[in-house]
């Protein structure tokens, strides 16, 4: 889950996250951003309900809840309350990753089972966010990307089901023509349009496809005519299924995996939004990432309680920030307000629900393709070594094979079949296991747990000496490593004395060798300041203050230094060539 910890300079920003653009400009940008996302928020839960053959009257209820939860959590992401929220523009919306598992849950036990599974799996996200630092080596973009690619494989049959059906009363060619115009529009704008047109390509494709259907006389607008301009549906609550029967336990692993995958997406978006929302370069604050995950988890929990599909961050909001140069959180708050208000305008919802089936299929095809591409980008984001390529290929293709019931299908016990025959679930499990094996095989590792104190230096130096001797390195290397640890302890001790924060009592040091590099991870209690910022300032300063001298020395010793700040625990990671 590691990623570059520094952002780039964004001198092109018109308004950064802390600034306040005019209300008129903010409102227009918010409306534009919401229009890019509203179709996904509305159509995704409808696809799940229709795929499971649920009653039609449930659609308006599920959409109502989806819009309100998306709106409120979007406001929470921008505004940030306690530890919940990123404090940046991160639009929340219905997660397409839950389409396949959502349909399975509805078919197996109805809305009650789906709600119970969503609530139970949402709690995993809080655990994931709380232990984000400890899980950063296992739950990586490689794992998340492979799972997303497998989600696309799982959902594609649902997408293809929209194409063979003929619109009632039309001629044979009309449904294919509508689908072709929709797809062609999206592809042409995506290939040849500028950045702005690419963002709008799905929406423009839906509009032109629907207009073509209207010209052919096949567009059914009865829902739009019957819907009121303002109001809300007759709400009903299915309740939870506390039986925790076999169907729950067979589906629960898949829901956990999809929830973690959604969390990894939010993780990536929360890093990216920090990198594009400040004019000056800053290290990534992983407390902000945790805040985004907590808000996402809260949205999932409330979705399960009320009875709609879970949500996740929409990456479209990042593209809008890059395109407009406006990153002010005021825009994010207004986006959430607009989403929430849309829930009370049934006429607008009815317009989206009236989109013809071939158009919906074309839109879904592009949406799932983008999901697949996002997965590909995730798996290669940290480089693609031979080992990583093998892991991706093994997890993906075995997942596809089991999904197609082509691998040992007749030999799988009945109780295990629902898990093994779900390509996303088994593919992710295989990928996680192989990543764990790769981590175990990455050189020799040694761990020391002690208290953070200068008095512990003899113990730490002995630990380092034994590790150096075991690897048969020279005394110069030993001295370099010991000096680096000593400077960190001296520097952090000075920081503790200069701050009113709680003492840094915990200290854990882990040494491992990867290729020709020593990787040193040190875990300490949370700190206010980031030592990367201090080291960069010390490098640029001709006269370094005494309380920063240790960090200047540290900067000259290590080839790479990263300071990952989390709630409750920080990780300082050094790489030194040996």
Alpha helices in 442-501 (DSSP H): 457-470, 475-498
549: left (phi over 0), alpha (psi -120 to 50) or beta: alpha
Residue 300 or 380, more confident: 300
Which tokens sit at 479?
């001295």
Domains (range + CATH), the chain: 23-379 (no CATH), 383-441 (no CATH), 443-577 (3.30.565.10)
Least confident of 8-12, 153-157, 318-322, 390-394: 8-12
Instruction: State phi, psi for 36 to the nearest 5 degrees.
Output: -70, -25
Element (H, E) at 511: strand 506-514
Q: What is the DSSP letter of 15?
A: B
SS3 state of residue 342: helix
**Sign of the Cα pseudo-torsion (482, 483, 484, 487, in order):** positive
Residue 200 or 520, more confident: 520
Element (H, E) at 159: helix 141-160
User: What is the pLDDT at residue 151?
Assistant: 80
| CA 477 to chain CA mean position, Å | 40
User: What is the pLDDT at residue 398?
Assistant: 94
Sheet holding 445-451, edge to edge: 445-451, 506-514, 517-525, 569-577, 560-565
Residue 415 has pLDDT above 70, yes or no: no
Which tokens sit at 418?
């629902």
User: What is the pLDDT at residue 7?
Assistant: 44
User: What is the pLDDT at residue 45?
Assistant: 93
Q: How far apart are CA 337 and CA 31, in angstroms?
A: 10
User: What is the pLDDT at residue 165?
Assistant: 53
User: What is the pLDDT at residue 140?
Assistant: 80
Residue 530 has pLDDT above 80, yes or no: yes
SS3 state of residue 520: strand
Residues 6+ apart with CB under 8 A from 538: 544, 548, 549, 551, 552, 555
- For 200-232, b where at least 16 C-beta lie within 10 A, e where not — what string? bbbbbbbebbbebbeebebbeeebbeebeeeee
Residues 6+ apart with CB under 8 A from 474: none
Q: What percent of the chain has pLDDT over 70?
A: 93
- For 46-82, b where at least 16 C-beta lie within 10 A, e where not — what string? bbbbbbbebeeebbbbbbbbbbbbbbbbbbbbbbbee
Which tokens sit at 561?
């230094």
User: What is the pLDDT at residue 443?
Assistant: 60
Q: What is the pLDDT of residues 26-73, one digit of tens each?
A: 998 898 888 878 888 998 999 899 989 999 889 999 999 999 999 999
Q: Are 343 and 68 in contact (CB under 8 A)?
A: yes
Q: Are 42 and 352 in contact (CB under 8 A)?
A: yes
The DSSP line for 53-95 is T--TTHHHHHHHHHHHHHHHHHHHHHH-BTTB--SS---EEE-
Please name which of 412, 43, 116, 56 lies closest in space to residue 108, comparing C-alpha atoms.
Answer: 116
Which pLDDT band, with edges at 50, 70 and 90, does 2 fall under?
Answer: very low
Least confident of 83-87, 221-225, 389-393: 221-225
Residue 499 has pLDDT above 70, yes or no: no
Q: How far apart are CA 576 and CA 514, in angstroms?
A: 10
Distances (CA, A) of 177 to 47, 210, 216, 365, 495: 22, 11, 10, 16, 68
Q: Are 217 and 366 in contact (CB under 8 A)?
A: no
Instruction: Work out the average pLDDT over 379-392.
Output: 87
Which tokens sit at 262?
């959604």
Least confident of 180-184, 255-259, 433-437, 552-556: 552-556
Q: Are 575 and 517 in contact (CB under 8 A)?
A: yes
Q: How far apart are CA 516 and CA 577, in angstroms?
A: 6
Which tokens sit at 577?
């060539």
Q: How far apart are CA 348 and CA 289, in angstroms?
A: 33
Q: What is the pLDDT of residues 438-455, one digit of tens each?
A: 887 766 689 999 988 888
Q: Tell me the pairing of strands 445-451 and 517-525.
A: unpaired
Least confident of 113-127, 446-460, 514-528: 514-528
Which pLDDT band, with edges at 50, 70 and 90, does 157 fall under?
Answer: confident
């Amino acid at each position: 889950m590691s990623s570059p910890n520094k952002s780039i300079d964004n001198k092109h920003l018109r308004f950064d996250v802390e600034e306040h653009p005019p209300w008129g400009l903010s409102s227009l940008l918010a409306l534009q951003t919401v229009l890019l996302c509203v179709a996904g928020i509305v159509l995704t839960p409808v696809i799940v309900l229709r795929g499971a053959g649920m009653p039609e009257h449930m659609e308006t209820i599920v959409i109502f809840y989806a819009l309100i939860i998306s709106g409120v959590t979007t406001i929470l992401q921008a505004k940030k309350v306690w530890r919940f929220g990123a404090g940046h523009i991160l639009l929340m919306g219905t997660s397409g990753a839950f389409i396949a598992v959502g349909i399975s849950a509805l078919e197996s036990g109805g809305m009650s089972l789906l709600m119970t599974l969503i609530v139970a799996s949402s709690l995993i996200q809080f655990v994931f966010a709380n232990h984000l630092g400890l899980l950063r080596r296992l739950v990586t973009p490689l794992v998340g990307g492979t799972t997303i690619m497998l989600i696309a494989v799982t959902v594609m049959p649902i997408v293809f089901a929209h194409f063979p059906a003929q619109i009632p009363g039309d001629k044979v060619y009309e449904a294919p023509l509508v689908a072709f115009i929709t797809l062609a529009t999206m592809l042409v704008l995506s290939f040849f349009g500028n950045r702005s047109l690419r963002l709008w390509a799905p929406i423009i494709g839906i509009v032109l496809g629907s207009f073509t259907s209207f010209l052919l006389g096949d567009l059914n607008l009865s829902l739009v005519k019957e819907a009121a301009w303002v109001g809300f549906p007759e709400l009903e609550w299915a309740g939870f299924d506390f039986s925790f029967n076999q169907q729950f336990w067979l589906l629960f692993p898949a829901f956990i995996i999809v929830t973690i995958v959604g969390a990894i997406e939010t993780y990536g978006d929360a890093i990216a939004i920090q990198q594009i929302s400040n004019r000056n370069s800053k290290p990534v604050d992983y407390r902000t990432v945790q805040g985004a995950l907590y808000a996402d988890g809260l949205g999932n929990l409330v979705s399960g309680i009320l009875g709609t599909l879970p949500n996740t961050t929409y990456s479209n909001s990042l593209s809008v920030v890059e395109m407009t140069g406006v990153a002010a959180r005021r825009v994010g708050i207004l986006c959430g307000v607009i989403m929430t208000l849309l829930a009370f305008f049934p006429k607008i919802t009815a317009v989206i629900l009236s989109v013809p089936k071939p158009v919906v299929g074309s839109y879904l095809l592009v949406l799932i393709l983008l999901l697949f591409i996002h997965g590909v980008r995730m798996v290669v984001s940290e480089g693609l070594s031979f080992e990583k390529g093998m892991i991706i290929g093994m997890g993906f293709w075995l997942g596809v094979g089991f999904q197609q019931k082509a691998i040992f299908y007749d030999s799988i016990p009945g109780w295990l079949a629902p898990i093994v025959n779900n390509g996303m679930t088994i593919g992710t499990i295989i990928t996680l296991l192989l990543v764990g094996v790769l981590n175990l095989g990455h050189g020799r590792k040694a761990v020391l747990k002690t208290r953070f104190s200068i008095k512990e230096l003899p113990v730490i130096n002995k630990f380092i000496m034994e590790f150096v001797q075991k690897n048969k390195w020279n005394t110069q290397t030993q001295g370099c490593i010991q000096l680096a640890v000593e400077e960190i302890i001296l520097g952090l001790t000075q920081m503790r004395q200069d701050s009113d924060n709680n003492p840094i009592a915990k200290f854990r040091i882990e040494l491992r060798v990867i290729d020709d590099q020593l990787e040193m991870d040190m875990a300490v209690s949370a700190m206010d300041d980031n030592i990367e910022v201090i080291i960069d300032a010390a490098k640029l300063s001709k006269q370094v203050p005494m309380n920063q001298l240790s960090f200047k020395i540290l900067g000259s010793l290590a080839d790479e230094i990263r300071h990952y700040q989390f709630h409750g625990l920080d990780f300082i990671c050094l790489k030194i060539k040996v």
